[in-house]
Amino acid sequence: MTRLDHLPDIAARGLGGLNADARLLGQIRLAAAGSAAKRRVRWQPVLLYCAAVAVFVAAALWGAPLLRLRNLPGTQPSIEVLGSSAAGGDPQAGDEYWAVAQGGAAGNVQAGGGAADAGSFRNLFAPERGGNFPLLMVDGAAYRMLISPTNMKNSLLGVSLGEVSEYTLEPALSTGGGIVSNIVNAGETVYAVKGMQGAMAAGYVKGGLRVFQRVSFAGTALLGSETLADTLTGASAVTAMELTGVGIVDDATTARALMQTLLDNATYGSASVGGGETRSLLIALANGLLMQLMVGDDTVSACGTWSCPEFFEAYALAVAE
């Protein structure tokens, strides 16, 4: 049947308007973040149990000889024995640690404060390294590395913001201007993300073009006359949202309206990021990237903490409808 031989051409025209676009990619990333979180939650009790057993065994192995030493008359406890047992190894050990950030296209779970509902707080930010998260500082504005994507599309590359002038593991102590990083090597070019200058930046980390989101750092959030919109993105760029523990809004029109509500009503609280957040707001953008805000009672935070009860009311309504 010759007509069947033309099926690729026929379908290319007949379905030419059906394309896997950035909106779908954003939804996939949201769903993957959720799926990975669930998988990790299932493993958490096992890992905690294993860790507890390991600690108990280690304590028994170290503690038994020490107790024997203590019971000997005239013998001082061996401080060095205790001091040399660095449980968990050096947190700055490097490659193994960074593998966590490198490997994940999906989100991970952080149980804020230990007692939080681990399933309701998802973290798309790359984890901390020796007290500092992997970041870029561009003329005083800090950007934190996201775990996804691991290699941003070149088509999203914006203008060059310059080259990393200083690589340091203590960026807060840096006194120089320019671009400072604890993850992007000195001399590497740092780029704006197209259409998102001020909210996101990109730089090469181990060969992959990683994306960084604007955040507070070392007591600094907004610069000059910046607003929340300057550190996030315009409402028109949003295609879907997930407020963990509440629900997903994947209707782009509703998501845009919600973002506009947030931008219009949020009031600035402080440069610090609370620490008591138990939920997260994941924002899927039309360019396929994801952003994250940490969520408190009525607050959102990433670059500063902002109060916006109107947003949460509108979100709850949108999910209920």
CA angle 229, 234, 237 (to 5 degrees): 150
Give the angle 268-270-272 at the CA atoms, nearest 5°: 135
Question: Token digits for 244?
Answer: 């963990």
In angstroms, what is the minimal distance from the CB of 8 to other proteins? 6
Report which secondary-structure segment, H or E, holds 82. helix 79-83
Rounded least distance, CB 274 to other proteins, Å? 30
Q: Which amino acid is at 101?
A: A
CB of 239 to other proteins, least distance (A): 13
What are the two backbone dihedrals, phi and then psi, of residue 189, each rounded to the nearest 5 degrees? -80, 140
- Alpha carbon distance 144, 228 (integer Å): 16
Contact positions with other proteins (CB under 8 A) in 32-61:
32, 35-36, 39
CA dihedral 122, 126, 130, 134 (to 10 degrees): -140
Residues paired with residue 11 on neighbouring β-strands, in sequence order:
none
Residues ≥6 apart with Cβ < 8 Å to 52: none
By beta-carbon proximity to other proteins, the closer residue of 66 and 252 is 252
Q: Whose Cβ is closer to other proteins: residue 255's or residue 308's?
A: 255
Closest approach, Cβ 231 to other proteins, in A, equals 25
292 or 299: whose CB is closer to other proteins? Answer: 292
Residue 240, phi then psi, degrees to nearest 5: -160, 160
Regarding 19 and contact with other proteins (CB under 8 A), the answer is yes
Within residues 219-238, the interface with other proteins by CB under 8 A covers none
ω before 65 within 30° of 0 (cis)?
A: no
Q: Is 29 in the site for other proteins (CB under 8 A)?
A: yes
CB of 4 to other proteins, least distance (A): 5
Phi, psi of 20 (to 5 degrees): -80, 105
Rule CB under 8 A: say whether 99 interacts with other proteins.
Answer: no
Please pick, from the candidates 120, 150, 181, 239, the single residue that binds other proteins as defined by CB under 8 A: 150
Binding to other proteins, residues 153-192 (CB under 8 A)? 153
Show contacts with other proteins in window 67-86 (CB under 8 A): none
11 scored as a contact of other proteins (CB under 8 A): yes
Which of residues 16, 74, 83, 88 is near other proteins by CB under 8 A?
16
**Which residues bind to other proteins, rule: CB under 8 A?**
1, 3-5, 7-8, 10-11, 13-20, 24-25, 27-29, 31-32, 35-36, 39, 105-106, 149-153
